Amino acid sequence: MKEFSATQVAALVNGTIDGDESCRISGVAALAEAESHHLSFLGNSQYTPQVLPSKAGVVIVESDFNEQPPKNRCWVVVENASAAFSTVVSEFAPPAFLPSPGIHRGAVVDPDVVVPDDVHIGPNAVIEAGVIIGAGAVIGAGCYVGWQVNIGAGCRLYPNVVVLERCVLGDRVIIHSGTVIGSDGYGFIPGTVHQKIPQVGIVQIDDDVEIGSNVSVDRARFGRTWIKAGTKIDNLVQIAHNVVIGERCFIVAQVGLAGSVVVGDDVILAGQSGVVGHVTIGDHAVVMGGASVWEDVEPGAKVVGDPAAPRMAHLRQLALIKRLPDLLKRLDALERRISE
């Protein structure tokens, strides 16, 4: 069992100690569940009331936390408590499981595909003709990799991922189970019999992108649907044809992006937000949870609501709505006085 002193924790996260330096930890836990041998952290102010009652021997806090630690406990003070806690957690985490290299006898791999020696291909995976696989890739059980797909070095496809024909994955891309890359974009010409519009483009996913479970990334009508480097996508997200997502974005669960949306760099799209087609969201913008974006969003803006509006404008609108019952009563009274 690993054990760390408070001093070692502070050194690990570049923090300072406030309280009993003799405290030792051998595990991590949430504030409400921690015991004296645990490390915990305060990463959100709503949990501040839990810090003092907690039994955690060591708590990582930020400099604006002003409470004094009780006897036999200590704080480790840092700039970013959540990031520091993650650093320590990694010291306690078990080694990551990586399947051993090789092709499972139950996999179906086109005979012309060159598979590097350090690649793992799991049971019931299917690798079609023309696929290129980079060094160190892991392709889990039941995955389907279509014709002429390019999988970069160090990619990991968890079980039952589908990457359809001609799509391109950069290096170190991680895709979780149930996700489909390269399904047809949604396009039909209405008529007595709806006519399907051919979707002949590809999906390009750049280096260090991670995509959660049960995500759909549609191929472009022509050209490419493009997810740029470092972007992180949560579970249950729909990305339509010809969408372009910039670098280092966070796309949270149940977001829907309609066709040809352009998302800038370092954008946050919070849970259940939606964006109509052909809209551009500027760099560093934040779309709050549940917002519905109908028009372009300026760089750096924070929008909320349906339709989405700048946060302060939306709050003023809500305040006015709350006043409506009283305003209607006053209007009725005024109308009665006038009629008299």
Cβ count near 159 (within 10 Å): 16
Nearest to 201 by CA among 190, 212, 217, 215: 217
Burial class (CB in 10 A: 0-12, 13-18, 19+), 15: buried
Residue 85, SS3 per DSSP = helix
Q: Are 139 and 125 in contact (CB under 8 A)?
A: yes
Beta strand pairing call for 309-310 and 302-304: antiparallel
Residue 239, SS3 per DSSP = strand
User: Residues 48, 301, 268, CA angle at the centre, nearest 5°?
Assistant: 60
Nearest to 73 by CA among 140, 141, 164, 6: 6
- Catalytic-residue membership of 241: yes
User: Which residue out of 38, 120, 176, 241 is catalytically annotated?
Assistant: 241
DSSP string, 123-140: TT-EE-TT-EE-TT-EE-
Residue 322, SS3 per DSSP = helix
Question: Cα(335)–Cα(333) distance, rounded to whole angstroms?
Answer: 5
**CA 209 to chain CA centroid, nearest Å:** 10
Residue 144 bridge partners (DSSP): 126, 162
Residue 230 has, within 13 A of its CA and on its CB side, a CA count of: 9
> Which residues form the catalytic set?
241
